[in-house]
Structure 1
């Protein structure tokens, strides 16, 4: 009898202990983390749950020292195994240890953002990528544009204009190459879709020509309603064999030598991007155009304007004839700022007489 009483008491004690452990474990796993505000934690490749819990204990985020023990028991009981996933996670005081475990297993890592702006050059986009601390840099600091294109799987293609301006979201330690591949693929997809729906009878031999035109439109105006009008001016000039005579192409060709002012010498010095001395489109885009500019290049306005001049308020005055354009230049440009660099209004080639479509000085980049 005494043996049975002892065993009964022992079983009762064990049951009470087990119940106490279950209750304490439940409380520990459901108690809020001791996180001050919002904090981040990184799980490295190959790191175990025990290592993550040790890190959290070191930071004093756990409800108690025994909380880690209970979580490991819970993982074994539920046969969850080592299912935590690599990445950067965000935790706050509203989460429990079970919430943290579910988060680590879900792979819902913190997402960072990088914005590539319409009208940026490739160099500016690359600079933004290299300046972002959340992106792992794998490209050499002195890597050429050609080397970068080869690294993303597009060898032999000029880098300028090939990356779609957008806001890109990525987890910490995404590589520069991965981000560039994503932006390149987005531009390829966008250009192909817009090319498929293009207007008829455009003077483009390929989608690349449309991309070049879109980059010029992007640099010429930030006014949505004007994009198709400006594209229309340039398309008609191409169709008539007139030179584009657009300042942004020259500015791009000058590169770092551009000091904010265009001079007569800049307009008359021949070069691949001088649309005053050369007919047709420049050899590459001059910026990263957005979808609206691409659409405008492929759906230009069907008016008759061949010229436009800045009104100095962000908009432009469009003209059909050289006489109208000269009057607009006198109205909007000359009274406010007499020109010191007196660019020629008339193309020296006989009879065409196209004046510069844009009479403003545009900075390269945003």
Structure 2
């Protein structure tokens, strides 16, 4: 009986050793084997509140790994089980379970992007947000009327011009309000920084006035390198008490009725934005200004020019100090435009 017990004990020990070796071998093969990716499972979402056991089960259910329990064991051995972060993850070809766990604990979630383009109006920005399928919509149409108070700004402030043009990267389910907060803060930060380093000008006494003028420069500039000169023209006009007389402000005042053409009656019809009928700056920006436009207002070119007009359609501008010089430049522009039309096939 004693010999039989010893034999059974030896056999049991051998079975345990072999089983342990097989488990160890299977565990190591598991860690070195890339996930099985298909077009249907190349992204993986960890929902808020999920624990490591649920994540491991999901990975197995999606056939990304053969054994969810091994992933669970590995995460616990690494001390990472309680550190996974919710979000949507892009799974790259060749990724292994250990790399996947690092991605989950680092929160390397899939990023989407949306750009705010300089020169756009706030309503265009809102439309782009609404059409982006990865941004979660939490704001109703009426909320955009009071959006500035939701962003922590003065409730009476208008949103036009207050969102920084850039390409923003963000994870899925970022809300529309979160996106706007980020862009608004970026504009605040840049405007304040630029204001601190500005060249002082008696006609622009607040950062908001600089933002308004920058939006006009943005819409009036055909060539980026002309922004400082265009800014100087408008500053010179303000200093001399002249009207700005800039078409983009008139167009903004027309609103939805603008059909692509600006007529004499439009220039004569008074609105808060008609700089042909009113002196000074319009009450708000008319578009989203770029960094370059803001910089141009803060550091304008040195010039006595009071007028400018394009030399050719879409070409460089001719800057003039007197009305006679400007009228001559306008006549030359009309002549150049006529020649260009005649040369078209």
Q: TM-score, normalised by structure 1?
A: 0.87
| Deviation string, structure 1 residues 131-187 (Cα, Å, up to 9, x no partner) | 111111110034343x11122221221111111111111111111111111111111
- When residues 158 and 55 of structure 1 are mapped into structure 2, their CA distance, relative to the original with a 3 A threshold, is same
Match of 2:342 in 1: none
Residue 55 of structure 2 corresponds to residue 52 of structure 1: yes
How much does 1:237 deviate?
0.3
* C-alpha spacing 1:260/1:56, structure 2 compared with 1 (3 Å): same
Separation in 2, partners of 1:42, 1:222: 46
Using the alignment, how far apart are the partners of 1:222 and 1:180 within structure 2? 28
Corresponding residue for residue 16 of structure 1 = 18
When the two chains are superposed, the root-mean-square deviation of aligned CA atoms in Å is: 1.7
Distance in 2, Cα, partners of 1:182 & 1:35: 35
CA change 1:248–1:188 in 2 (3 A) is same
How many correspondences in the alignment?
A: 334
CA distance in 1 between counterparts of 2:273 and 2:96 reads: 61
1:244 equivalent in structure 2:
244
Q: Quote the offset at 1:255 in angstroms.
A: 1.2
| Paired residues of 2:114 and 2:167 also in contact (CA < 8 A) | yes
Instruction: Flag the 1:99–1:213 CA change in 2: closer, same or farther, 3 A.
Output: same
CA contact 2:199–2:299 (8 Å) conserved in 1: yes
Instruction: Indicate the residue corresponding to 1:361 in structure 2.
Output: none
Which consecutive residues of structure 1, in runs of 5 or more, have no partner in the other structure? 339-366
The yes-or-no answer on 1:333 pairing with 2:300 is no
TM superposition shift of 1:315? 2.0
Q: Contact conserved, 1:307 with 1:320, CA < 8 A, in 2?
A: yes
Q: Does 1:26 align with 2:25?
A: no
Q: Is the 8 A contact 1:42 1:88 kept in 2?
A: yes
CA–CA distance in structure 2, aligned partners of residues 190 and 215 of structure 1: 14
Summarize deviations over 1:15-73 as a string: whole Å, max 9, x none: 111011110121123211110268111111111223323333333222x2xx2121222
- Name stretches of at least 5 consecutive residues in structure 2 with no aligned partner: 340-345
1:1-366 equivalence runs, <5 A: 1-36=3-38, 39-62=42-65, 64=66, 67-145=67-145, 147-154=146-153, 155-311=155-311, 312-334=313-335, 336=337
Where 1:143 maps in the other structure, the secondary structure is helix
Residues in 2 aligned to 1:325 and 1:3: alpha-carbon distance in whole angstroms: 113
State the secondary structure of the residue aligned to 1:333.
helix
